C-alpha cells in the first residue's frame, strides 16, 4: 500500500526585512507557502509576529540567527556576527535561549519547529544547544529529529554563493514535486517582494516569489495528489508526537 505524499513549504528569514515579510506573506496568501521561520533579532520581526498571530494557519518556527557569511576570494567573510565565536558553547546557548524567549514574547507561543540561518544548527556546539531546548519542548528540528525529510534543492546558489541558473524556475520546482518521496517532505524557500537588506542571496528571492505564486505549481501539486500541510497542522500519520529520538553528538 502506497503512503500519501505530504508537503510543507517553509519560508526562511521571516522578520529579517519588510521586503522579505511581504514576499513570505504573498507566497502564503497567493502561493504554496504553508510555514515560515522567524528571525527574532531584526526590526521587522515584530511585524512578522503580528501577522503570525493574526494568521494562525501559517505555521511559524524559530530561525536561529548567529550571523551570515559570504564566500569572497576563497574565504568565508562575515557579513555580520551575533556571537564572537561559533566555538563558544556558553555564549551560543545564551544567545539561542534569548532568541527563543523573544519568539515566545513576540508570538505568544512556542515555535512549531526550529531551523537556522545558513544551517548553522547542524554544526557543534550549536547543535547541542539547539537540541537542549528542542528536546524539552518536543519541537522538531530541521535535519535532526524532524518528521519531515528536508529538501533544499529549490535554491539559486551553490554553497559558495555562485549562481545556479535554472534552479529557481517553475520547471525546476515541478521536477522536485514530481520526485517527492512518500511521507512528509519540507521544501525550504526564501521569497521576498523586494531586496532591502545586505545579504548574499538577493535577486534569487524575487524569482522564488514568482515561482511560488505560479498557478501551474498549485495545479501540479493537486494533479500529483500531494497534500500541503504545516508543522502546526501535521496529518495524523506524521504527528509530531511520534518524533524520533534526538541524537546529540
* CA distance linking residue 52 with residue 56, whole number of Å: 6
Angle at 230 between CA 180 and CA 219, to 5 degrees: 55
Assigned C-alpha cell, 204: 534569487
| Type and span of the H or E element at 7 | strand 5-14
Which DSSP letter does residue 138 get?
A: T
Please give the backbone phi and psi of residue 96, each rounded to the nearest 5 degrees, phi first: -65, -40
Helix locations, the chain, DSSP H: 18-29, 45-54, 89-107, 126-137, 170-178, 203-212, 215-223
Q: Which residues are catalytic?
A: 12
* CA distance linking residue 147 with residue 86, whole number of Å: 27
Q: How far is CA 54 from CA 43, 46, 58, in A?
A: 19, 12, 9
User: Count of CB atoms within 10 A of residue 158's CB?
Assistant: 11
- Listed residue (35, 211, 197) closest to 25, CA to CA: 35
Characterize the bridge pairing of strands 149-151 and 67-72.
unpaired
* CA distance linking residue 72 with residue 22, whole number of Å: 29
Assigned C-alpha cell, 89: 558553547
Amino acid at each position: 500500500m502506497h503512503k500519501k505524499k505530504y508537503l510543507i513549504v517553509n519560508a526562511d528569514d521571516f522578520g529579517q526585512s519588510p521586503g522579505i515579510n511581504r514576499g513570505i506573506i504573498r507566497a502564503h496568501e497567493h502561493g504554496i507557502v504553508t510555514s515560515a521561520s522567524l528571525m527574532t533579532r531584526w526590526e521587522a520581526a515584530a511585524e512578522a509576529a503580528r501577522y503570525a498571530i493574526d494568521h494562525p494557519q501559517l505555521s511559524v518556527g524559530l530561525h536561529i540567527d548567529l550571523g551570515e557569511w559570504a564566500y569572497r576570494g576563497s574565504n568565508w567573510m562575515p557579513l555580520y556576527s551575533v556571537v564572537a565565536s561559533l566555538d563558544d558553547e556558553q555564549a551560543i546557548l545564551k544567545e539561542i535561549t534569548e532568541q527563543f524567549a523573544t519568539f515566545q514574547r513576540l508570538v505568544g507561543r512556542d515555535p512549531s519547529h526550529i531551523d537556522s540561518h545558513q544551517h548553522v544548527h547542524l554544526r557543534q556546539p550549536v547543535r547541542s544547544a539547539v537540541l537542549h531546548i528542542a528536546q524539552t519542548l518536543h519541537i522538531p528540528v530541521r535535519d535532526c529529529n524532524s518528521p519531515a525529510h528536508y529538501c533544499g534543492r529549490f535554491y539559486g546558489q551553490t554553497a559558495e554563493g555562485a549562481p545556479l541558473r535554472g534552479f529557481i524556475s517553475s520547471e525546476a520546482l515541478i521536477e522536485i514535486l514530481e520526485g517527492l518521496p512518500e511521507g512528509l517532505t519540507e521544501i525550504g524557500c526564501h521569497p521576498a517582494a523586494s531586496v532591502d537588506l545586505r545579504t548574499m542571496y538577493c535577486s534569487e528571492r524575487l524569482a522564488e516569489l514568482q515561482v511560488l505564486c505560479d498557478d501551474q505549481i498549485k495545479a501540479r501539486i493537486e494533479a500529483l495528489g500531494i497534500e500541503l500541510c504545516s508543522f502546526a497542522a501535521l496529518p495524523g500519520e506524521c504527528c509530531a508526537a511520534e518524533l524520533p529520538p534526538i541524537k546529540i553528538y
